[in-house]
Amino acid sequence: MKRGLALFLAALLTALTLTACGGGGGYSGGSASSAPSASESQTAYDDSGDEWKAEVREFGFDAPADAAGGSPAEPEATTEEPREDRLASAKMVYTASIQAETQDYDACTAALEELVDRLGGYLEYASSDSRGDGSRSASYTVRVPAKEFRGFLKTVGEISHVTSQDQNAENISERYYDTESRLETQKTKMERLQTLLSKAENMEDIIDLENAISETEYQIEQLTGSLRHYDSLVDFATIDVRLREVLRLSTVEEAPPTFGSRLGNAFTDGLRGFGDFLQDVAVYLAYNWTWMVLLALVILLVVKVSKRRQAQRGETFRQSRERTGGSFFKRKKDEPKNPDDKQP
């Protein structure tokens, strides 16, 4: 009796041990088999008519819990990336705006265009014009590789006199990776729709699937275009350059410490400004001398006509006075102001 009880307990202990071993290694060794196959996903779609249920099953969102019966174990927290690595994977868009002056316009524009070619960039927009005083100006929209952004700004300051400069750096990583993820989802959806279309037999289902494929193709084209635009902005920095030809470069002077220095600077600046004004007037007259001559002739003609008419009026007045002998004015003077008044 005791021997039979001992054998029964030994068999029960062996069964419990085997059960525990099989339950502990079931998920780690059979994780691949726990996910449904493509045929099971197709069957789920055909049975329920709901495509998203098939997607949920195929991507394994219904994965079994861990051995302890709880939720799947979360990944271990990793150490924070170095700042350089984060910036290396970030999608940065660099832009800048530069206002510059030069006294040698031709040499400066040639050096600027040569700099763009040497850095591997290109001119997205370029224009030039000339003002009435003979000075010239140019506007450029320059695209250079992002890695050459700082070098370009530094070199522009060497070949011209930069009066103002603005820089901007925008991180579009969130938008970029979100668009990329949506594109991958649409591509996966396209593959499934094409697979379902090849197996569809009902005409109504074929029409619905073709409409869904057309809409998915449109979404893929839109998202692909957005990614190409983002890549262009990230790979090439954008710099707007405004170049102006001047006779004298503008300088930024420090505030004078004393009243005498301020007064001396104001006197010097006043003389310089008056000289510049005279030069501008001379250049304006030289540029518009034909109009000035024409205006002077018109004024001279008007003066001559006015004098001639005034002389004719004077002659007419003198002749009429001689004919009347001056009595007309005398009578007018002697007449009373009020006709009812009687003179004595």
Full 3-state SS string of 257-275 = CCHHHHHHHHHHHHHHHHH
Residue 122 — pLDDT band, cuts 50, 70, 90?
Answer: very high
β-pairing, 236-245 vs 92-102, is: parallel
Q: Which is more confidently placed, 323 or 73? A: 323
Residue 200 — pLDDT band, cuts 50, 70, 90?
Answer: confident
Q: What is the pLDDT of residues 33-68, one digit of tens each?
A: 333 444 333 433 444 444 444 443 443 334 333 433
Q: Which is more confidently placed, 56 or 162? A: 162
| Strand, helix or coil for residue 288 | coil
Hey, what are 343's tokens?
A: 């003179």
Q: What is the pLDDT of residues 4-27, one digit of tens each?
A: 444 554 554 455 444 444 444 433
Mind spelling out the 3-state secondary structure of 156-221? Answer: HHHHCEEEEEEEEEEECHHHHHHHHHHHHHHHHHHHHHHHHHHHCCCHHHHHHHHHHHHHHHHHHH
Q: Which pTM was predicted?
A: 0.54
32 by Cβ neighbours in 10 Å (0-12 / 13-18 / 19+) ranks as exposed
**How many whole angstroms separate alpha carbon 235 and alpha carbon 91?**
9
Q: Which is more confidently placed, 213 or 17? A: 213
